[in-house]
Structure 1
């Protein structure tokens, strides 16, 4: 907190000492040592600043270097070290913060969200600028019937509703859907919430569009969750990619002929992005990729396939963004 996030030393030290004292007899005995060690750390800012950014673990770094090269990997590591700003998505008009080219607004990290103007009125919600692009790529229209699969925590559901779509938000977690309901109520928006496994859910009628933000490794969010490289080791990736493929196939089956699907993952791994797109095109003849046409997207972000590859080292002058892969797919008009 002190060295990476710039927290005031006295507050961080006092909080850590209080936690030690509250953790039982052993913690109370260690409180003096905690105080002494952290006070030494508090004056080590210059040495901390000279350290190289922490390297990604080999299972992740190898894929990143293979896909984009050593310089990109170092840039991503530097972005992870720098941390993430606070991004907001406006419902319609006014929104605090710096307006970004893609439509989000940005404020410094540590900003107290509930104290910002427009919070109580529901004029905006917290959502990373990269995450907000999935709905902008989908481009929902008023009156369209749309499903948001794996919807929690709900930022994309709010975007879809704000665009005037008739939204069904599906998520397997009832507690997480309760948070979606709270945010919808605060923002004066509505959606039909369904607690179900997305693979088991089917609508009463074919859909105009589906947004699938699929379960993934979440490796695109390390700048927000620096513990991820320490608690994950790449195990389970094959199972995740199989699940993503099944979800893509199921989502396509829910669409009317000519309907569209946006597939998104907050992952840096091509196995969960570019490779999933290529495999889906192989499995579904007649499926077409529609390159993103969203203000603020730079040409270099669009892949040769027509997907959108976002990385933490993009926009370095603005503070970066989360890692994401986003692709818009159109079902052919003669597919049922």
Structure 2
């Protein structure tokens, strides 16, 4: 039984780690619950940062801890040690970190007897861990995911992607209007593709232009599919899997007549909120994409996928999942492509994209679609976008983005996209 002590960012982070590593739950799901409601917004952000830092450094933390443990303690104690080890090795204050780890352990009657162990282990880590940390390899992805990616891209590219994952992401913004003006206002850097990047953003809602709706948070790679679609004023455009709405806002900002479709009513609330904040307009439809009817000049299909391209932002994903659901996702993507093509007007265009590193969810999907649909072609000319390296264009006519691209600028999400025309 856990005592009713005040929740802190560290105790909340331990709880989040227990859910991810013990129950296979994703942080995105957990943060949408009431789990952190007793924390202030700043403390919620800190709890999330502590959790993601620990997940990124998990392999190193475990290697350091195994020297000081004869056997692994229960998961909650182990996660308390992992969290504290990562904080210590990243230069945190040893006194406060060790004391709170002991307090968290003592607060639960199931683990209270281990507070002496936690104290002893962490004092050794505080003395030796920083030097050990720097000598350890960059943490690797789990074998179930690393194997297919090494096969697809090679060991050298895999190592570069893992380095990008370990470094974590900057914060990217998409401007509603003048991107250079937004960059100047928030103190960011204008990327080659037109996104604005901030290395140390602080509280997002406090940044200049947030309340005015001048921009929204969107990784630079995720901003490219809408640019690839190149919607025009008054065109009928469908954002087929719209939530949380970044691409919907991009499309609406062009002056197109945008329909945003998503099956999640709760996520569509967020799309509506984002549109309201930015002063943009779209028709919002909650429903099954495979049942949707209509005729459109252009469709953006950001299909449900493994999200393996977002690990630099979501380090919980390869630890909470095992790949067992990927087959169903790949089949769903194929069905969505086929249905989307029935919704296109003659001469229309479809941008298919996934935030995945797996070729089965990108290059292979487009190759198969081209084979299934005579007359369908990949529009290579559409890929001539600012900031795009021609080497990123794939054999079948799509665009492959990886976390290690733009490494000197801080990387990007892994993405695949292609513009298909009828």
TM-score when normalising by structure 2: 0.73
Distance 1:313 1:178, change over 3 A: same
Greater Cα offset, 236-245 or 270-279: 236-245
Distance 1:15 1:144, change over 3 A: farther
Residue-by-residue CA offset, 1:10-57 (whole Å, 9 max, x unaligned): 798389649837965446666676566556545633322322112222
Q: For the residues of structure 2 that align with 1:322 and 1:35, how far apart are their CA atoms?
A: 39
Tell me the SS of whatever aligns to 1:199.
Answer: helix
Alignment of 1:143-222 (within 5 A): 143-203=234-294, 206-222=295-311
Tell me the SS of whatever aligns to 1:142.
Answer: coil
Aligned residue in 2 for 1:91? 176
Q: For the residues of structure 2 that align with 1:213 and 1:15, how far apart are their CA atoms?
A: 46
Q: For the residues of structure 1 that align with 2:92 and 2:303, how far apart are their CA atoms?
A: 38
**Is it true that 1:116 corresponds to 2:207 in the alignment?**
yes
- Structure 1 stretches of 4+ moved >3 Å: 1-12, 14-19, 21-43
**Is it true that 1:322 corresponds to 2:413 in the alignment?**
yes
Paired residue for 2:395, among 304, 307, 312? 304
Question: Please, which runs of 5 or more residues in structure 1 have no aligned partner?
Answer: 332-336
Q: For the residues of structure 2 that align with 1:20 and 1:265, how far apart are their CA atoms?
A: 40
Aligned residue in 2 for 1:126? 217
Q: For the residues of structure 1 that align with 2:352 and 2:206, how far apart are their CA atoms?
A: 34
More RCO (CA 8 Å, sep 6+)? 1
Greater Cα offset, 36-45 or 111-120: 36-45
Aligned residue in 2 for 1:67? 152
Distance 1:255 1:77, change over 3 A: same
Tell me the SS of whatever aligns to 2:177.
Answer: coil
Aligned residue in 2 for 1:13? 97
Aligned residue in 1 for 2:335? 246
**What is the root-mean-square deviation of aligned Cα atoms in Å?**
2.4
Residue-by-residue CA offset, 1:261-306 (whole Å, 9 max, x unaligned): 0000000000000000000001111001012121110111111211
Distance 1:34 1:106, change over 3 A: farther
Question: Please, which runs of 5 or more residues in structure 2 have no aligned partner?
Answer: 1-49, 54-85
Q: For the residues of structure 2 that align with 1:126 and 1:196, how far apart are their CA atoms?
A: 25
Q: How many matched pairs?
A: 329
Aligned residue in 1 for 2:161? 76
Distance 1:119 1:12, change over 3 A: farther
Distance 1:33 1:164, change over 3 A: farther
Paired residue for 2:361, among 272, 279, 286? 272
Conserved? CA contact 1:312–1:323, under 8 Å: yes
TM-score when normalising by structure 1: 0.90
Residue-by-residue CA offset, 1:138-192 (whole Å, 9 max, x unaligned): 1111111111111111110111111111111111111111111111111111111
Aligned residue in 2 for 1:136? 227
Aligned residue in 2 for 1:334? none
Aligned residue in 1 for 2:130? 45
Residue-by-residue CA offset, 1:208-250 (whole Å, 9 max, x unaligned): 1000000001100111111111111121222111100000001
Aligned residue in 1 for 2:385? 294
Q: For the residues of structure 2 that align with 1:241 and 1:100, how far apart are their CA atoms?
A: 32
